[in-house]
Structure 1
């Protein structure tokens, strides 16, 4: 059978290749042409002398975790990002430790929770999963020792802290069958397991507190906000393992613009039928958090996770024309236009980070890197001062 497909002759092929500027020629000795060598063996322009050389940690020097973490900055990829984040937080703390200019004194502020405390006001934001996992203990350390000034979290970040005071969370597996867990009344958060009994204990604990809030509202005309409710719950829990406990004790405000989006919201929903009338004013808190940012002598943001906590802190700092120091830790990418995935440069375009700042985003799962960040910054300074 005759092949009807027309085959191009050699001249046509050569013309086609020449037209694409891809003609490959060799000399009579079979060596590569100047074109080929020029394409592959191009000479590099010199890099600036200050450009770091890639160098990882040499374990022949022994196991030295301090040196290992220090080597991250020159290791490349997200190890470099973590190293830069450590530098940024240390710059934040250097600024914080500078004496506060008397012109920036805040002694007239009646609200002790938002009164300026230092030369750099540090805003810490984190999502609920950070409290569900062991990062809760790193956050509690920061709050216990007054190392941050303001917290923004989700409803889960509030309730999970309280629930852990009432019952344990367990390590399970990401691949446990949800149908079986549902039958056993065990809730899964990633590879963590929370018995539903913990939420029943939480309802028993929080309902009388909601009753008390409503009674004060009626008798004293007190209007509660999410942060003042959280403060009251922190005072009531009386457990030093709790973030809320130390925040209330140290007068560090915890803002939660989505307080009803979680188990606490469920309890408030049930309470609205049993004992209706509780009012929660979110505008009070918008004024408080924005006021903290505007009055800050300098401002630093450490945001673990994305979504509402990230935007709420960044938007407060917009009111002062941007934060001076910023570190973001999350796994989100910007291709979908999400706030969680947005790089710091996008926040600069909105005026939420100063143009002169050196912000860092670490693309990493925070349970891996946040304790390392705390260890190389806040904790190192804390124990250095104790031993001095």
Structure 2
């Protein structure tokens, strides 16, 4: 505890019971994984990028405390949108009181609402569109194909967006990931804004669908990555639920059962931050033990579920891991 900073010491002193205690146990379990040489996958669901998780998650990446990321297409792009259009975002604390007419007024102003935060259409989406289209088109003209995140890495590292930066790039987790060329999977990328835009270019005959590598190719990439990196174990840290978590966790039973690679180890750690109520038929609300029956987790895999708001819990847990 002596090497811990004031935030970590506060957590250890006061987070003693219920979800608070689980947060501490999960953080210590995460540290134990890293200390024994295991790697860690972090999955990002929801709107964690718009919640500005990058302020601390970028440091987790720089300190090599995450080794592969699974995220939704929304989280992939929204971190970059915040980087280039931060001053144009609008916060609406009274969002619970909005009427349909109020919501329509936001649409007419080009403000797309995510809970209490509106993303500006023109300064965020369209600002990225003009530059990412050129990168897509250049790759196609050269006969090259890349994953969605690889195109985003190219966009960031090219420097074309620097003229728009409105926050320090050190607070962008995507910029940190691009600098390290961090492995990533982005399942269901097509349902994101940039995915929709790419599809529109395909429908207009301006781009070929094949220029973008597919979800099946993401799964095969992940399977190879897992096989090559699981000697000391790979932990699974899930923020939210949905496809960002379900897609990558399935790679273990796929390798073990479908590829018949019976030496494949289970995930060596599992933690989920979720506010989804445990319920019938819900994946996001399923307790970790259910994953044992699907061949994802072992009986003895350390398992944690923190039933709370990820925008509160994730920064605190990451702060603990960073000794803050």
| TM bucket normalised to smaller | 0.7 to 0.9
Indicate how the Cα distance of structure 1 residues 203 and 288 shifts in structure 2: closer, same or farther if over 3 A, else same: same
Structure of greater Rg: 1
2:145 to 197, 218, 223: 223
Distance 2:7 2:197 in 1: 45
1:64-117 Cα offsets, whole Å, 9 max, x none, are 64443113453x221122122122112112212xxxxxxxxxxxxxxxxxxxxx
1:252 to 159, 173, 182: 182
Query: Offset of 1:227 from its aligned partner?
Result: 4.3
1:313 to 230, 233, 248: 248
1:127 to 34, 41, 45: 45
Indicate how the Cα distance of structure 1 residues 206 and 228 shifts in structure 2: closer, same or farther if over 3 A, else same: closer
Match of 1:206 in 2: 132
Query: Offset of 1:178 from its aligned partner?
Result: 0.9
Q: Are 2:312 and 1:368 equivalent residues in the alignment?
A: yes
2:206 to 269, 275, 284: 275
Match of 1:82 in 2: 23
1:112-123 equivalences in 2 (<5 Å):
120-123=38-41
1:226-375 equivalences in 2 (<5 Å):
226-236=148-158, 240-241=169-170, 242-272=172-202, 273=204, 275-279=206-210, 280-282=212-214, 283-295=216-228, 296-297=230-231, 298-318=233-253, 319=255, 320-375=264-319
Query: Offset of 1:159 from its aligned partner?
Result: 1.1
1:367-388 Cα offsets, whole Å, 9 max, x none, are 11111101111x11xx7xxxxx
1:204-232 Cα offsets, whole Å, 9 max, x none, are 22221221121122xxxx33333433443
1:273-316 Cα offsets, whole Å, 9 max, x none, are 15132412323221111122223121111110110011122112
1:33-182 equivalences in 2 (<5 Å):
65-74=7-16, 76-96=17-37, 120-168=38-86, 169-173=89-93, 174-175=95-96, 176=98, 177-182=102-107
Query: Offset of 1:256 from its aligned partner?
Result: 0.5
Structure 1 contact 260–266 (Cα < 8 Å) conserved: yes
TM-score (norm 2): 0.82
Distance 1:160 1:180 in 2: 22
Partner-residue secondary structure (3-state), 1:327: strand
Query: Offset of 1:252 from its aligned partner?
Result: 0.9
Query: Offset of 1:180 from its aligned partner?
Result: 2.1
Indicate how the Cα distance of structure 1 residues 201 and 65 shifts in structure 2: closer, same or farther if over 3 A, else same: closer
Query: Offset of 1:183 from its aligned partner?
Result: 2.5
Indicate how the Cα distance of structure 1 residues 247 and 185 shifts in structure 2: closer, same or farther if over 3 A, else same: same
Indicate how the Cα distance of structure 1 residues 236 and 243 shifts in structure 2: closer, same or farther if over 3 A, else same: farther
Partner-residue secondary structure (3-state), 1:201: helix
Query: Offset of 1:249 from its aligned partner?
Result: 1.9
Distance 1:161 1:94 in 2: 29
Structure possessing the higher relative contact order (Cα contacts under 8 Å, 6 or more residues apart): 2
Distance 2:223 2:208 in 1: 28
Structure 2 contact 236–267 (Cα < 8 Å) conserved: yes
Query: Offset of 1:271 from its aligned partner?
Result: 2.0
Structure 1 contact 92–300 (Cα < 8 Å) conserved: yes
Q: How many residues align?
A: 289
Distance 1:303 1:340 in 2: 10
- The answer for unaligned runs of 5 or more in structure 2 is 1-5, 163-168, 256-263
TM-score (norm 1): 0.69
Query: Offset of 1:361 from its aligned partner?
Result: 0.6
Query: Offset of 1:145 from its aligned partner?
Result: 2.7
Range with bigger deviation, 253-262 or 279-288:
279-288
